[in-house]
Amino acid sequence: MAILEVTDLKKSFGKTKVLKGISLSLEEGQVMSIIGSSGSGKTTLLRCINFLETADSGRIMVDGDVIFDGEDKTKHKAKETREKQLKIGLVFQQFNLFPQYNVLDNVTLAVKLKAKERADYKQNKKQILKEIDDKALKLLSDMGLGDKVDSYPCQLSGGQQQRVSIARAMALEPKILFFDEPTSALDPELTGEILKVIRELAEKNMTMVIVTHEMNFAREVSDYIVFMDDGVIAEEGRAEDVINNPKTERLQAFLSKISD
């Protein structure tokens, strides 16, 4: 069964139809890349799935649970939405780290706040917090940031900041991790380190959806590629097929424009 299933998702901003019926599905442990020209709706799709925007209609299922249903007009409690939110993680293009916290606290803040809801929090507080720290330290050292845990975001390079933000998302153990152009705010020589981290996550069978303009990376790391154009999925398929043998004219045009 698919871990992510989006059915006929639609979203307009005022009169502009941005998503015109998007359907896609992804198996656990697979990596999907979303490509497409600027303004085709990639960010909007990710934001709708991550509750940063509310879609107008359609359905989103994650891990067997309906997290969004356009038919369901009842108001959901904020707490319910938060629970669903925690099943998925999002890495922003602009990192959005918390500037006043050091690297370790950036990674553990949300996890610690969530731990407060545990029934045994009061009794085992020390131990729970220590476990959270240890796990975060492990994550950070896996990402090559072992010596940066006490630094503040402003003391880090863009690539390091983005790695921290990936660690921060991973610390909540999401079922699926979404990336919105994780390298496009970085200098070209820094993109490699982020792509390496994502590649390593893929090797650990992390389920990921990546919006990217890096075609070579998309082909190499992803199992499946979706090409979005003007609010619809214009073409999709296995990574090599889509990049090497584009069938639609629109994708052919897009790929040749990109490789220029």
Partner 1 sequence: MFWTVTSSLLEGFGKTFEIFALTLIFSLPLGLIMSFGSMSKFSPVKYLTKLIVWVIRGTPLMLQLIVIFYGPGLIGTWAAGFTADNALTQWLCSFGWFNGIIDWMATWESFDRFTAVIVSFVINYSCYFSEIYRGGIESIPKGQYEAGQVLGMTKTQTFFKVVLLQVIKRIIPPMSNEIITLVKDTSLARTISVYEIIWSGQLFIKSDGLLWPLLYTGIFYLVFNGLLTILFGKLEKKLDYFKS
Residues in touch with partner 1 (CB under 8 A): 50-52, 78, 82-83, 85-86, 89-90, 92, 94, 96-100, 109-110, 113-114, 152-154, 168-169, 172
Interacting residue ranges for ligand ATP, rule: CB under 6 A: 13, 16, 18, 36, 38-44
Q: In terms of CB distance, is 40 or 160 closer to ligand ATP? A: 40
Q: How far apart are CA 169 and CA 259, in angstroms?
A: 32
Q: Could you tell me the sign of the dihedral formed by the alpha carbons of 68, 74, 78, 80, in that order? A: negative
* Contact status, residue 25 vs residue 2, Cβ threshold 8 Å: yes
Specify the residue, 37 or 85, whose C-beta has the smaller distance to ligand ATP: 37
Please, which residue, 45 or 197, has the CB nearer to ligand ATP?
A: 45
If one counts every other C-beta atom within 10 angstroms of the C-beta of residue 214, the result is 20
Q: 180 pairs with which residues across the strands?
A: 211
Smallest separation, CB 36 to ligand ATP (Å): 6
Task: State which residue, 35 or 170, has the beta carbon closest to partner 1.
Answer: 170
Which partner from the list partner 1, ligand ATP, Mg ion, none does 115 bind, CB cut-off 5 to 8 Å by kind?
none
Task: Select from 38-46, 108-116, 131-139, 233-241 the region that touches Mg ion (CB under 5 A).
Answer: 38-46
Q: Which does 159 bind (CB under 5 to 8 A by kind): Mg ion, ligand ATP, partner 1, none?
A: none
- Shortest distance, CB of residue 157 to ligand ATP, whole angstroms? 23
Shortest spacing between CB 209 and ligand ATP, in angstroms: 13
CB of 226 to ligand ATP, least distance (A): 12
**Any long-range contacts for 218-223 (C-beta under 8 Å, 24+ apart)?**
218/33, 218/35, 218/243, 219/243, 219/244, 221/31, 221/33, 221/195, 222/31, 222/32, 222/33, 223/30, 223/31, 223/32
- Let me know: does 222 contact 210? Beta carbons within 8 Å: yes
Which of 43, 106, 183, 191 is the binder for Mg ion (CB under 5 A)?
43
Please give the structure tokens belonging to residue 173. 């153990």
